[in-house]
Amino acid sequence: MELSSRLMDNSHNAPVKKSIFIVEDDEEISFVLTFMLEREGFEVTTSKDGRDALNLIDSAPESDMSAHPDLVLLDIMLPHFDGIQVLTYIRNHPTWKRVPVVMLTAKSQAANIDEAFALGANEYITKPFQPDEVLVRIKRFLN
């Protein structure tokens, strides 16, 4: 289900799966993360670049304070707008500002990590990564 559709469809009473929004331009990594998270019972939507991510964020109705995913998994090196810009946008968005954001990136310098946390990232995982570790760290914010 498209994230925007899910966000706008609050009419059913059945328990809703936790949703994760992955912003990752690498197709292989995006595929494996989606595969793994869907196996764990999460609903996953993806964006391949920063611009697409910002468009998706903007598409959620501002009047509905629950119209956002339960967690964002965010790469930094993205086309058009980088992950830091996307993170800043999320943290200033009225609806999305409290969504947990987990950075997943190859940038491992202390300066990058400090910057992400200073801008409001909740967690920072460097690549190469362990899939199980990503899962454990994500679940911390979703339980």
Partner 1 sequence: MHNLLPTVLSITLAATTAVCVVLVASVVLLHLMHQSREAGRERFLAAWRPLFAEYIKGSKPALPVLEAKDVPAFCGLLNYWHNAMRGQALNGIREIGNAVGLDDIALKLLRSGRLSDRLLGAVVLGNLQEPRAWEALVEDLSSVNPVLSLTAARALLQIDPARGIDIVLPLCGSRSDWPLAGVASMLQMAGPTAVSDSLASQCISSSRPEVIRYIRLLPCAQRAVAEATVRTILKTAVDSEVIASCLRQMNDIGDHDIICGYWDHPEWYVRLQAVKALGRVSTGEDTPLFIRRLKDESWWVKFRAAEALAAIPSFDLFKWEQIAGKFVEPDLRRVLLQATEARRNKLG
Q: Is 127 in the site for partner 1 (CB under 8 A)?
A: yes
Q: Which of 67, 83, 68 is nearest to 23 (CA)?
A: 83
Whichever of 26 and 70 has its CB closer to partner 1, that residue is 26
Give the separation between CA 32 and CA 21, rounded to whole angstroms. 14
Q: Is 35 in the site for partner 1 (CB under 8 A)?
A: yes
> Which one of 3-11, 47-55, 92-100, 130-138 is the stretch in contact with partner 1 (CB under 8 A)?
130-138
Q: Is 131 in the site for partner 1 (CB under 8 A)?
A: yes
Give the separation between CA 75 and CA 24, rounded to whole angstroms. 5
Q: Coil, strand, or helix at residue 105?
A: strand
Contact with partner 1 (CB under 8 A) among 6, 17, 25, 29: 29
Q: CA 44, 2, 20 angle in degrees (round to 5)?
A: 25
Residues that bind partner 1 (CB under 8 A): 26, 28-29, 31-32, 35-36, 39, 127-133
